[in-house]
Structure 1
Amino acid sequence: MAFTDVETAQVHEAVTGEPKGDDLCKLGLIYSTGQGGVIDYVEAHKWFNLAALMGSEAAKHYRRELSGEMDSDQIAAAQRAAREWLATRH
């Protein structure tokens, strides 16, 4: 799935407000495919984790697929980053 520059900007903007699971899942897709200019599996996994917490079934699927491409240190870093993001939201 390709996102336009406008869609990418909208997703980044949504994250600063009250994002929905779909917004976070889209951000995970952007990072996992390099549509934002760089492929970053740790960042993608973080957003998929957060989207899954918000009930996104697609994010659960993508996170599982992505985990197969990552080592345990990368997964741990993504989980830490997700917890840190959540901590800043409350």
Structure 2
Amino acid sequence: MAFTDVETAQVHDAVKIDPTGEDLCKLGLLYSTGQCGVIDYIEAHKWFNLASLMGSDTAKYYRSEVAAEMDGDQLAAALTAAREWLSTRH
């Protein structure tokens, strides 16, 4: 799925304000496909994981797909990044 520059900006803005699971899943897609400039599985997994916590079944699927491409250190980094993001939201 390709996103326009406007859609990409909207997703980034939504994540800063009041993100939905769909917003977080879209951000994961941006990072997992390189539409943010580079493929970043750690960031993608982080956003898919957070979207999954918000009930996104789509994100659960993509999180699994991305995790299959990662090593243990990358997975640990992604989980830490997700926890850090959650800690800033409360």
- Which category describes the TM-score, using the shorter chain as reference length? over 0.9
Query: What's 2:39 paired with?
Result: 39
Return the letter of the residue paired with 1:34: G
State the 1:36 CA deviation.
1.1
Structure 1 unaligned blocks of 5 or more: none
TM-score, normalised via structure 2 length: 0.99
Return the letter of the residue paired with 1:46: K
> Percent of counterpart pairs with the same letter?
76
Equivalent positions of 1:1-90 (< 5 A) are: 1-90=1-90
State the 1:73 CA deviation.
0.6
Return the letter of the residue paired with 1:19: P
Query: Which ranges of 4 or more aligned residues in structure 1 deviate by more than 4 Å?
Result: none
Structure 2 distance, partners of 1:80, 1:43, is: 11
Structure 2 unaligned blocks of 5 or more: none
State the 1:89 CA deviation.
0.4
Structure 2 distance, partners of 1:40, 1:66, is: 10
Structure 2 distance, partners of 1:36, 1:66, is: 16
Alignment length, in residue pairs? 90
The 3-state SS of whatever aligns with 2:81 is helix
